[in-house]
Amino acid sequence: MLHPVYLFLNIGTPELILILGVALLLFGGNKLPELARGLGKGIREFKDASDGVKREIHNQINSFDEVKNSIDPTVSQTNSAAVPDVSPLDQPEITPAQHTTYTTENHPHQTEIK
């Protein structure tokens, strides 16, 4: 099984062999171990830095949650004290509107245009 770094880069075995062959031809057998050590150190430093960033983010989230949990009881106490006990309002008596019917007997239609 390949190292997770190779899986992350989506490099298969044939591609890895080709890359190592080209590196061997370009840098020679004496320089290749030094390059591999430098690459390993760089990857390790990057991993340590990303772990540090993750740790800092988790610390910030945890401190935010602690502050939120300490504020929640205060907010609920303030809300219960701020809302007065409201009794229902007296509802006015509602009377229906008077029903009026209009007819056309009193107002004939004009059919002639003058």
64-76 burial code (b ≥16 CB/10 A, e <16): eeeeeeeeeeeee
Greater pLDDT, 84 or 89? 89
Instruction: Please tell me which of 2-6, 31-35, 71-75 the model is most confident about, judged by mean pLDDT.
Output: 31-35
Q: Tell whether the torsion through CA atoms of 42, 43, 46 and 52 is positive or negative.
A: negative
Q: Average of pLDDT values for 89-93?
A: 67
- Give the CA-trace dihedral at 73, 74, 77, 83, to 10 degrees: -130
Residue 47 has pLDDT above 90, yes or no: yes
Q: Residue 89 — very low, low, confident or very high, per pLDDT cuts 50/70/90?
A: low
Query: With a threshold of 0.85, does the pTM exceed it?
Result: no
Greater pLDDT, 31 or 3? 31
pLDDT of residue 38: 93
- Give the separation between CA 67 and CA 76, rounded to whole angstroms: 15
